[in-house]
Amino acid sequence: MKKRPEEIFRKHGGQLRMSEAIKHGITRYMLYSLRDKGIIEQVSRGIYRLVELPPINNPDLVTVGLRFPNAVVCFISALAYHGITTQVPHCVSVAVPRDSRMPSLDYPPIRAHRFSNKAYITGIEEHMIDGVSVKVYNPEKTLADCFKFRNKIGMDVVLEALKLYKTQKKFNPGKLLKYARICRVEKVMRPYMEATAG
Number of structural domains found in the chain: 2
Q: How far apart are CA 146 and CA 116, in angstroms?
A: 15
Residue numbers of the domain that contains 101: 59-195
Question: 74 and 36: one domain?
Answer: no
Question: 12 and 77: one domain?
Answer: no
Q: How far apart are CA 76 and CA 80, in angstroms?
A: 6
pLDDT average per 10 residues of sequence, the chain (198 residues): 77 80 88 88 77 73 83 92 85 87 76 88 88 89 93 91 85 88 90 71
Question: 84 and 64: one domain?
Answer: yes
Question: 64 and 143: one domain?
Answer: yes
Q: How far apart are CA 111 and CA 99, in angstroms?
A: 16
Question: 132 and 187: one domain?
Answer: yes
The pLDDT value given to residue 198: 47
Question: 70 and 37: one domain?
Answer: no
The pLDDT value given to residue 177: 92
Phi/psi zone of residue 45: left (φ > 0), alpha (ψ -120 to 50 degrees), beta?
A: beta
Bridge partners (DSSP) listed for residue 134:
127
Question: 21 and 43: one domain?
Answer: yes
Question: 37 and 99: one domain?
Answer: no
Do β-strands 132-137 and 72-73 pair in parallel, antiparallel, or remain unpaired? parallel
Is the CB of residue 85 less than 8 Å from the CB of residue 164?
A: yes
The pLDDT value given to residue 141: 94
Question: 74 and 35: one domain?
Answer: no
Q: How far apart are CA 80 and CA 77, in angstroms?
A: 5
Question: 46 and 72: one domain?
Answer: no
> Using alpha carbons only, how large is the chain's radius of gyration in Å?
20
Do β-strands 47-50 and 40-44 pair in parallel, antiparallel, or remain unpaired? antiparallel
Cβ neighbours, 10 Å, residue 7: 10
Question: 171 and 100: one domain?
Answer: yes
Question: 133 and 63: one domain?
Answer: yes
